[in-house]
């Protein structure tokens, strides 16, 4: 049975938005590639799918072939099939479909980004780990993990520090409180 892992790049002040001009590569990229190699499939929200697919469809090489050939499952109420990038829409209820995907895959289901889809996956107990890749820069962009949808309590599983100053912080979600700001 596969497990769902949310993985997100962020600045030290928690910026995760689309304007990640702060991102710099480094030796942590090998660890990020290893994380992806352990995945059987990607589980993406619409915004993340739309941001990543044009980049990867143009990327070539052995690693790109691996990424481009793996299945991607996209949660969206506005996209219609067929989708590019070996992707398909999640049909039916999110909870039931993700449970089915976890049962169908032996490797991880890797979910990039940390917005509405990530929050709903955590809220429904579908996520085994959350990986925050924290970069040593303050960016002051308003988009934050889980987009203010609620509070997520987590237990730290592991922390790794890279020479670049990036830390990889791995957590296990343990509880969720839905924010009153969003009707919860």
Tens of pLDDT, residues 47-81: 999 999 999 999 999 889 999 999 999 999 999 99
Dihedral Cα 72, 95, 104, 30, nearest 10 deg: 50
- Confidence band, pLDDT 50/70/90 cuts, at residue 154: very high
Host domain of residue 102: 4-182
**DSSP structure string for 45-82:** EHHHHHHHHHHHHH--SHHHHHHHHS-EEEE-SS--SP
- Confidence band, pLDDT 50/70/90 cuts, at residue 183: very low
Tens of pLDDT, residues 96-141: 999 999 999 999 999 998 999 999 999 999 999 999 999 998 888 8
Specify the CATH number for the domain of residue 177. Answer: 3.40.430.10
CA distance readout (Å), 148 to 84, 118, 162:
30, 12, 29
Which distant-in-sequence residues (6+ apart) come within 8 Å of 144 by Cβ? 14, 15, 16
What is the distance between the alpha carbons of residues 72 and 66, in angstroms, rounded to a whole number? 12
| pLDDT at res. 23 | 67
CA neighbor of 107 nearest in space, from 79, 53, 71: 71
- Confidence band, pLDDT 50/70/90 cuts, at residue 18: low
Which distant-in-sequence residues (6+ apart) come within 8 Å of 34 by Cβ? none
Q: How many domains does the chain have?
A: 1
């Amino acid at each position: 049975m596969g497990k769902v892992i949310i993985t997100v790049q962020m600045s030290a002040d928690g910026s995760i938005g689309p304007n990640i001009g702060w991102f710099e590569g480094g030796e942590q990229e090998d660890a990020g590639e290893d994380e992806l190699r352990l995945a059987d499939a990607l589980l993406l929200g619409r915004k993340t799918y739309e941001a990543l697919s044009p980049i990867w469809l143009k990327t070539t090489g052995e690693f790109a072939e691996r990424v481009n050939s793996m299945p991607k499952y996209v949660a969206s109420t506005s996209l219609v099939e067929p989708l590019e990038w070996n992707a398909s829409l999640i049909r039916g209820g999110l909870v039931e479909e993700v449970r089915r995907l976890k049962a169908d895959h032996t490797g991880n289901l890797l979910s990039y980004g940390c917005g509405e889809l990530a929050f709903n996956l955590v809220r429904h107990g579908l996520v085994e780990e959350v990986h925050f890749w924290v970069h040593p820069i303050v960016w002051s962009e308003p988009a934050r993990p889980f987009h203010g949808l609620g509070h997520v309590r987590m237990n730290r599983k592991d922390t790794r520090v890279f020479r670049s100053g990036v830390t990889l912080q791995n957590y296990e979600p343990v509880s969720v409180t839905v924010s009153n700001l969003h009707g919860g």
